[in-house]
């Protein structure tokens, strides 16, 4: 039973990772389009997003 639950957690983690990477790509594209390609904003967004995904797990 714990094996299934850990597999489920791993799958959720992988989905969250893929989603977070696609969101970062979208965010960077938007920032670049707006001409404000600031790495500080991108880093802040990444940190906030990973904190959120870790809390959701």
| % of the chain surpassing 70 pLDDT | 74
Count Cβ atoms within 10 A of the Cβ of residue 20 and give its class: 0-12 exposed, 13-18 middle, 19 or more buried. Answer: middle
Decide: 56 and 16 in contact? Cβ < 8 Å: yes
Residue-wise pLDDT tens digits, 34-57: 655 566 777 777 777 777 777 765
CA distance 25 to 15: 15
Can you tell me whether residue 1 is helix, strand or coil? coil
Residue extents of the structural domains in the chain:
2-56
Q: CA-based diameter of the chain, in Å?
A: 51
CA distance 36 to 7: 40
Residue-wise pLDDT tens digits, 9-41: 888 888 888 777 777 777 777 766 665 556 677
Q: Say what the pLDDT of residue 26 is.
A: 75
């Amino acid at each position: 039973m714990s094996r299934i639950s850990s597999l489920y957690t791993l799958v959720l983690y992988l989905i969250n990772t893929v989603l977070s990477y696609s969101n970062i790509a979208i965010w960077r594209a938007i920032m670049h389009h707006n001409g404000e390609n600031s790495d500080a904003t991108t880093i802040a967004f990444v940190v906030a997003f990973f904190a959120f995904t870790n809390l959701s797990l």
